[in-house]
């Protein structure tokens, strides 16, 4: 009897561990946001960029607000128990969804998200987001939580969080999820860097988005900006020699002007 009991207990314990791992991986269901993105985000220029059908999104704003309410209902204690991937996916989706809600509050009357700011501060500094027990701003989520040193240390988030602007990396037409996060971030990075309107080799120099100027320090954690860009040389269309010149510092880098126009469908 004892010989049968011990294997049975071990099997039960393994089932418990497997169930716990599955529950953690599925800590939050982003399905509502995923559906909204699938229906109202349109790929352009071969998928390296996207535009948003704000009129269509506005018609489903109640559904968006339901999703935002679900985000707001998550206790911080539960959030802290999630895996690193689940927490990062949650924060990226929260940032993008709340940016969407902010734009929808006045999308008929603005040409840029910057129009939603005031004389003294931009729209990113306004505290209006109930999240994890506090009222937060978009800056509280991205610089304060996503980019906090020693937490995620993931520079590719700059190609995932979306500022509702033409110059910004594409708003993905699906929600970010823990089990696919690395693949999604890699794909978002590749798509952005392969967009010649925002990153290109021209006249013997590398012209890149101002994102890399504003957030260059974030790439120091992966060996520096030049090393990062050289590692993504295929997306940038660089030869092996050009990649080496980039690493050596002999390939000049120029930062392009940022296009703050709203990323709305034409």
| 158 and 183 fall within a common domain | yes
| 129 and 232 fall within a common domain | no
Give how many domains the chain has, as a whole number. 2
In terms of residue numbers, what domain contains 225?
Answer: 200-255
- Could you read off the pLDDT tens digit of each residue along the chain, which spans 266 residues? 555 555 544 544 444 444 444 444 457 999 999 999 999 999 999 999 999 999 999 999 999 999 999 999 999 999 999 999 999 999 999 999 999 999 999 999 999 999 998 777 899 999 999 999 999 999 999 999 999 999 999 999 999 999 999 999 999 999 999 999 999 999 999 999 999 999 999 999 999 999 999 999 999 988 999 999 999 999 999 999 999 999 999 999 999 999 999 999 98
pTM of the predicted protein model:
0.90
| 130 and 174 fall within a common domain | yes
Domain boundary among 176, 193, 210: 193
Task: For residue 112, tell me if it sits in a domain.
Answer: yes
Task: For residue 67, tell me if it sits in a domain.
Answer: yes
| 172 and 41 fall within a common domain | yes
For residues 128 and 137, is the Cβ–Cβ distance under 8 A?
yes
Task: For residue 262, tell me if it sits in a domain.
Answer: no
Domain boundary among 193, 227, 242: 193
For residues 167 and 260, is the Cβ–Cβ distance under 8 A?
yes
For residues 107 and 262, is the Cβ–Cβ distance under 8 A?
yes
Q: What span, in angstroms and rounded, lies between the C-alpha atoms of 18 and 25?
A: 11
| 152 and 78 fall within a common domain | yes
Give the other-Cβ count within 10 Å of 170's Cβ. 22
Task: For residue 175, tell me if it sits in a domain.
Answer: yes
| 185 and 53 fall within a common domain | yes
| 175 and 219 fall within a common domain | no
132: exposed, middle or buried (Cβ count in 10 Å: 0-12, 13-18, 19+): buried
| 206 and 77 fall within a common domain | no
| 54 and 153 fall within a common domain | yes
| 184 and 225 fall within a common domain | no
Domain boundary among 193, 208, 239: 193
| 121 and 51 fall within a common domain | yes
Task: For residue 88, tell me if it sits in a domain.
Answer: yes
Residue 262: phi and psi, rounded to 5, are -65, 140
| 141 and 238 fall within a common domain | no
């Amino acid at each position: 009897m004892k010989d049968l009991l011990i294997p049975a207990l071990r099997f039960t314990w393994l089932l418990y561990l497997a169930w716990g791992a599955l529950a953690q991986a599925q800590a939050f269901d982003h399905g509502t946001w995923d559906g909204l993105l699938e229906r109202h985000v349109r790929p352009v220029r071969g998928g390296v960029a996207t535009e948003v059908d704000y009129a269509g999104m506005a018609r489903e704003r109640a559904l968006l607000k339901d999703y935002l309410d679900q985000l707001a209902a998550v206790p911080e204690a539960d959030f802290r128990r999630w895996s690193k991937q689940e927490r990062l996916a949650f924060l990226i989706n929260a940032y993008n969804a709340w940016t969407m809600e902010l734009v929808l509050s006045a999308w008929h009357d603005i040409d840029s998200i910057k129009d939603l700011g005031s004389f003294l501060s931009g729209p990113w500094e306004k505290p209006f987001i109930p999240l994890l027990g506090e009222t937060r701003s978009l800056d509280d989520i991205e610089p304060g939580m996503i980019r906090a040193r020693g937490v995620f240390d993931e520079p590719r988030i700059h190609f995932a969080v979306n500022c509702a602007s033409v110059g910004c990396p594409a708003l993905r037409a699906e929600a970010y999820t823990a089990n696919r996060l690395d693949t999604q971030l890699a794909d978002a990075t590749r798509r952005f860097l392969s967009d010649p309107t925002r990153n290109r080799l021209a006249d013997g120099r590398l012209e890149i988005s101002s994102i890399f100027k504003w957030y260059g320090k974030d790439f120091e954690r992966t060996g520096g900006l030049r090393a990062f860009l050289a590692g993504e040389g295929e997306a940038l269309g660089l030869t092996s020699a050009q990649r080496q010149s980039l690493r050596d510092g002999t390939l000049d880098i120029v930062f392009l002007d940022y296009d703050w126009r709203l990323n709305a469908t034409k």
